[in-house]
Structure 1
Amino acid sequence: MHALGVTWMLYSNAGSVKERIVNMEKADQTLKKLAKNISSTSTVNSNSTNVAGLGDADCPNCLGIGFVSSNADIEDPEFGRLYPCSCRFEDLQRAITNQKQFSLYFRTTV
């Protein structure tokens, strides 16, 4: 137990003010370098925008992403939840059928 009025070492401001200013300047320089690297490496290339999504590229609902979200209020538990888009219905049905067939095959062979 610590005596009243004694600052525990973890909570003290260790180091001089000058040391802290130098460290802040180093951190500032590092952040500037990182920002410069990020901006030079994250430029959009016309070839990199042709990434295929899970959905139909011509779908007006999901714009090719394959998922849509509900327009729920922020308090609603459904807020932010993603749902498969209707353009993926056939693919999802096929995947479900394949999974069922595989599980039936697995049960009969084991």
Structure 2
Amino acid sequence: MGNSKLYKGSLSTIILKLLSETEKMYGYEITQKVKILSHGELTITEGALYPALHKLEAEGFLEVEVVKVDNRFRKYYKLTEKGATETTSKLEELNDYIKTMQALMSPSFNLQ
């Protein structure tokens, strides 16, 4: 997809949705899952991902678990209860937005 700016406002929702489907994920795993699910259309950079993860953690939506893997430490992110509630809210908000945009882009849309 040509305009990554369209995704920027949805990054937190994407992260929350992925974590709601998986017990925990680490950053690189999130980027790869998005790439796979979007068939390569969306690439999330580290420069976008980690600030979003840190913001979600600061807001109490995520908790971090540090695990030693192959002599290095890996941060796993998982939803808190508050995060699960926020995920539901964000998905409803996104769904409403998509419905509105579809109505606006519909060939039968008429401003009268």
Q: Where on the TM-score scale, by shorter chain, does this alignment land: which range?
A: 0.3 to 0.5
TM-score by length of 2: 0.33
Which structure has more relative contact order (CA 8 Å, sep 6+)? It is 2
Larger Rg: 1
More strand by share: 2
- Normalised to the residue count of structure 1, the TM-score between the two structures is 0.34
